Structure 1
């Protein structure tokens, strides 16, 4: 394949290759880059024509000491004649407890962009600005010295105060962009990548079980009386307690909690971060499911409850408020009972509903590594006994 003209020689079209993980967020971001990046680069670097090509590829796991993703980008850049190559991944990257937005190598004209560090707001616009900044820096013969006036002028407006450009003391990486709000932004980005709203459809067994129990609770006269006599703080406590019970059951029964004990400090911090994202993902997903179940129960109550029977337990002058309270308490009780239904879900389906592809791959790699270590220990014990 004929390679494209070098970006530093003569007029022509400069090709930026984007290698994206074949999952929701990276693919969506890559498509936007394909559509909007050429125009933005033409405004900032008007001496050339720009084109973006997108390729989907399952990117390998990587961290700050390994360069598998950059190697993949460099290989595709060479094979396809790209001038620059950018990997888009949902793998969280951290260095010195700071979330990494992007790493770039000017010697190879490749970069890796990590989506979780962008947080949850204006993701595509921010990625567009960061990638444009990376291409501008890579295209230059040298990267401006950190803190210099040229360094400040070269920063595109889209970066604003959300990100900070640095020059790391690390071989193979000439430019690094960090998230200024640190671990909170990274945590929010990880939850976004997990797409907690998918939990509603992923836990069909639990939802069916909760809905089935709702029918029983809705026609329970004792529940009617409790609902209209409980204080507001008691009802709020019941709602939170029901979601907490369901969340705890899912984590314990389906082994969603990652043990951080006896891990090295760096891996322990990572495990804590992933556990926090798991809790938030489940909490948001279960809250969405709770609201959906509540709406269904309210509709059922409005249709099924006969005025003659309902008034005997809640009072003759009942109104919409009483229906809302009864449906709320019935939903809370059914949510707790619905935890039983989640037991019929396979562990794989629960993990798929709760985690992004990258997080599932990471946990699977950890599981295999621990199994290999246990097998090695058993083998050593056998050899010593023999």
Structure 2
């Protein structure tokens, strides 16, 4: 690797990882010059590859990156996957193979916090590790060089710990990332992972739910929202619903909300066969449970958005349809405007249950694509198709 230029190849899985890379690639050359070495001009090259999102075995990904790196003649290569990587049951955040100048980042391990800056910092740290090596001497050299930089240029990067993947704020205090130099593997020289089982599960679950983008599923609820709101709006004109909302306690209302949301979630899982079953999957038990938990919480989040939208619509409908005088005459002279809130709340819960039992989501592909198992099956099929094309 000689000459005035260094090229960093960024390989991403399709979808969200690609979006992150697109948002970062413009600023990376300048940051690499500051954080790694400013005597070289840094170039960024990007590539989408299904394998980085098709397996949860980091060594398989590392091996596949070797051929991609050679084909593109990159000096450094960083792959970014949205698949969780595990060492036993502990979450792997990132790894680097110094000799080949190859590194790998697992997005779920970074958690549900805003990812753009954390992915940026991870790329900078991994390239720095490969450039100066992960040894004590290499880390000391990297730190000494950074301390000589003008602090006004980039105070955030100048004060970085040379052994830390990302900053230590909020999320990382609850579930700290540990740096280790493994000796039991051929292709990994430095690894960043979470050493606690709880911290690993928490990071992976929240990170995978974020990667599923539950808000993107909202467009699939149009038909259900229409049915639920139409049914609930019709029920609003009858005093029975008004009286029920006046009699229910807060705890009963909360229980009704939880039941209605869970009914919708489990109906979607059942109707679209989203649950990974032990008999039909080759995944390890803890991986299967992690995928199923992610599916559940992704749908739970999406249905909560749906529930809040319905509640907003019913709140306007209640004010529009029910005069206060009529409400007082039918229920009690003591009721006030707060009862509008309770009526809308009751109508939302009942309508959600009806919507869950009586309709189908409009775009099944959006729902399926928000689950890890389905996305992996798609990528396996894509990888298989590409291999067949190469053979032919």
State how 1:95-174 maps to structure 2 within 5 Å.
95-140=87-132, 142-144=133-135, 154-156=162-164, 158-160=166-168, 162-168=176-182, 169-174=184-189
Deviations 1:290-316 (CA, angstroms, capped at 9, x unpaired)? 000000011111112234433322334
Query: How high is the TM-score relative to the length of structure 2?
Result: 0.81
Query: How high is the TM-score relative to the length of structure 1?
Result: 0.82
1:182 to 197, 200, 207: 200
Q: Tell me the residue number matched to 2:39.
A: 47
Deviations 1:189-220 (CA, angstroms, capped at 9, x unpaired)? 00101111223222333222211211122122
1:53 and 1:366 map into 2 onto residues whose CA distance is 25
What is the total number of aligned residue pairs between the two structures? 352
CA contact (8 A) 1:144 1:151 kept: no
1:267 to 270, 274, 284: 284
Q: Tell me the residue number matched to 1:64.
A: 57
Q: How many Å apart are 1:81 and its aligned residue?
A: 3.0
| SS of equivalent residue, structure 2 residue 62 | helix
Greater mean alpha carbon deviation, residues 278-287 or residues 248-257: 248-257
1:156 and 1:39 map into 2 onto residues whose CA distance is 20
1:332 and 1:94 map into 2 onto residues whose CA distance is 39
Q: How many Å apart are 1:267 and its aligned residue?
A: 0.7
1:215 to 212, 233, 237: 233
Q: How many Å apart are 1:89 and its aligned residue?
A: 1.6
Q: Tell me the residue number matched to 1:382.
A: none
Change (3 A) 1:173 1:251: same
CA contact (8 A) 1:209 1:340 kept: no
State how 1:191-340 maps to structure 2 within 5 Å.
191-260=209-278, 267-316=284-333, 318-340=335-357
2:20 to 26, 29, 53: 29
| SS of equivalent residue, structure 2 residue 193 | strand
Structure 1: tracts of 5 or more residues without a match: 1-5, 368-386
RMSD (Å) for aligned C-alpha atoms: 2.9
Q: How many Å apart are 1:171 and its aligned residue?
A: 1.7
Structure 2: tracts of 5 or more residues without a match: 144-160, 382-392
Q: How many Å apart are 1:85 and its aligned residue?
A: 1.4
2:165 and 2:205 map into 1 onto residues whose CA distance is 24
1:364 and 1:177 map into 2 onto residues whose CA distance is 29
Q: How many Å apart are 1:249 and its aligned residue?
A: 1.6
Change (3 A) 1:186 1:104: same
1:274 and 1:363 map into 2 onto residues whose CA distance is 13
| SS of equivalent residue, structure 2 residue 273 | coil
Greater mean alpha carbon deviation, residues 47-56 or residues 73-82: 73-82
Q: How many Å apart are 1:154 and its aligned residue?
A: 3.2
Deviations 1:47-104 (CA, angstroms, capped at 9, x unpaired)? 322222222333351233652x334533343333321111112111111111111222
2:86 to 83, 89, 94: 94
CA contact (8 A) 2:93 2:107 kept: yes
Q: How many Å apart are 1:172 and its aligned residue?
A: 1.8
Change (3 A) 1:322 1:120: same
Deviations 1:10-51 (CA, angstroms, capped at 9, x unpaired)? 5x1211111222313x12321233123222222222332222
Q: How many Å apart are 1:334 and its aligned residue?
A: 0.3
